Amino acid sequence: MKEKVVLAYSGGLDTTALIPWLKENFDYEVICCCINCGQGNELDGLEERAKLSGASKLYIEDVIDEFCDEFIMPCVQAGSVYEHKYLLGTSMARPAIARKLVEIARKENASAICHGATGKGNDQIRFELGIKALAPDIKIIAPWRMTDVWKMQSRQDEIDFCKAHGIDLPFDTSHSYSRDRNLWHISHEGLELEDPSQEPNYDDLLVLGVTPQKAPDKETLITMTFEQGVPKTLNGKEMKVSEIITELNRLGGENGVGIVDIVENRVVGMKSRGVYETPGGTILMEAHDQLEELILDRETMEAKKKLGSQFAQIVYEGKWFTPLREAIQAFVESTQQYVTGEVKLKLYKGNIIKAGTTSPYSLYSESLASFTTGELYDHHDASGFITLFGLPLTVRAMKKAAAEKK
């Protein structure tokens, strides 16, 4: 009986060419596994294509809700943003995919898992760290790093390889952006984006929405409610998190929200330039932050900001299945106990504008914040506070002056 390999299958040219390549070079029985994290119509026709290419079986596993609830929401609650801009769309999806690949490999008694990530990117790290953490006994095959066996260097090479194996596929050699899509975002790399001096060709590039310049010249009002840091309703309608993100994607895309052009530092040491569309995620993160402003005390907020940044680094580097990620997430979850309330905001030509926030757990006190302060605050108390708060500065200045006199 042949050994089995589970192939992380997207249906694109790269992973389709991998099916005959794995059979030819390793004599594996190839089991394709496509993990649906919200790719939309990219899943159309996959089963026929996989079987045509020589796969013995294709799994299409829908993990959209667990992706939203178990991977996206912890990052939203942590306020995790990589290098101030990237909302971790691809980074969050990879551990969800790795976990499902391991599950299918166990089910099929497969001895190996194969992925099509390149040897220059972050995804090879994310996939493989996830697999190692969950199934250290399973072999990992990364063809793009196996240059002694993987000889194909271009799309035309892959097309020719498939044709030589009797597989005629609807792909051509025309260049296009390299994209990765899920429910949270879509990323774009390649073509003019490889030159940071070039402006993105947004007319050809954008998929989820329009530029702010092309957005309607009118405001869109959004009302959201949260319970313990989790969104529950959107514009008065109760929905699952996945449904809320889907609708926010539509509204944000229409209004030119969530387009980011970034040169980021990859884990492998190089810089890469890409454009991310995250319309719904950008709105959701802003709404959550807006609610936390009312509820979290200063010291908790400061600690959370630091840990949120570290959480983003952990997720970006593929270290989801680690004790540190679990520990930081536990801290974040404890801060969400009272993050409950209603957030209103307006979308206008790429902007997200505050329109009012309320919470039964708000720490904001109008009588304290007002210039006509209430009985809890005595202006005279500030004098003693400032004296003590500034004591180190006063002592330092006195000592410095005395030293200069000598």
Across residues 106-115, what is the average pLDDT? 98
- Reduced to 3 states (helix: H, G, I; strand: E, B; else coil), residue 264 is strand
Determine, yes or no, domain membership for 111. Answer: yes
Determine, yes or no, domain membership for 125. Answer: yes
Decide which of 131, 164, 197 is a domain's last residue: 164
Instruction: Give per-residue burial for 37-61: e unless 16+ CB within 10 Å, then b.
Output: bbbeebeeebbebbebbbbbbbbee
Determine, yes or no, domain membership for 367. Answer: no
What confidence category does residue 301 fall into, taking pLDDT thresholds of 50, 70 and 90? very high
Whether 178 is a known active-site residue: answer yes
| pLDDT of 2 over the 70 cut | yes
The verdict on pTM exceeding 0.85 is yes
Decide which of 135, 164, 193 is a domain's last residue: 164
Q: 147 and 206 share a domain?
A: no
Q: 229 and 343 share a domain?
A: yes
Task: Check residue 6 and give its pLDDT.
Answer: 98
Task: Check residue 154 and give its pLDDT.
Answer: 83
Domain that holds residue 144: 4-70+88-164
Task: Check residue 371 and give its pLDDT.
Answer: 64
Q: What is the CATH number of the domain that holds 128?
A: 3.40.50.620
Q: Which residue, among 24, 70, 78, has the nearest Cα to 332 in the 3D structure?
A: 78
Whether 94 is a known active-site residue: answer yes
| pLDDT of 174 over the 80 cut | no
Q: 107 and 250 share a domain?
A: no
Q: Which residue, among 107, 161, 92, has the nearest Cα to 311 in the 3D structure?
A: 92
Whether 272 is a known active-site residue: answer no
Q: Which of 123, 126, 325, 359 is catalytic?
A: 123
Across residues 2-8, what is the average pLDDT? 97
Q: 57 and 142 share a domain?
A: yes
Determine, yes or no, domain membership for 290. Answer: yes
Q: What is the CATH number of the domain that holds 354?
A: 3.90.1260.10
Dist. CA 364–CA 297, nearest whole Å: 10
Q: 149 and 242 share a domain?
A: no
What confidence category does residue 155 fall into, taking pLDDT thresholds of 50, 70 and 90? confident
Q: Which residue, among 100, 133, 103, has the nearest Cα to 323 in the 3D structure?
A: 133
What confidence category does residue 173 fall into, taking pLDDT thresholds of 50, 70 and 90? low
Whether 123 is a known active-site residue: answer yes
Determine, yes or no, domain membership for 207. Answer: yes
Residue 357: φ, ψ to 5°:
-135, 135
Determine, yes or no, domain membership for 169. Answer: no
Q: 240 and 109 share a domain?
A: no
What confidence category does residue 374 fall into, taking pLDDT thresholds of 50, 70 and 90? low
Q: 29 and 147 share a domain?
A: yes
Across residues 27-42, what is the average pLDDT? 94
Task: Check residue 277 and give its pLDDT.
Answer: 98
Angle at 298 between CA 294 and CA 303, to 5 degrees: 115
What confidence category does residue 286 fall into, taking pLDDT thresholds of 50, 70 and 90? very high
Q: 123 and 267 share a domain?
A: no
Determine, yes or no, domain membership for 78. Answer: no
Q: 25 and 143 share a domain?
A: yes
| pLDDT of 166 over the 90 cut | no
Q: Which of 14, 80, 91, 187 is catalytic?
A: 14
Q: 283 and 351 share a domain?
A: yes
Number of domains within the chain: 3
Mean pLDDT of the chain: 94
Q: Which of 56, 69, 157, 178 is catalytic?
A: 178
| pLDDT of 375 over the 80 cut | no
Dist. CA 275–CA 254, nearest whole Å: 17
Task: Check residue 370 and give its pLDDT.
Answer: 65
Determine, yes or no, domain membership for 329. Answer: no
Q: Which of 49, 53, 94, 181 is catalytic?
A: 94
Q: 182 and 160 share a domain?
A: no
Q: 344 and 214 share a domain?
A: yes
> How many residues can be counted in the chain?
406
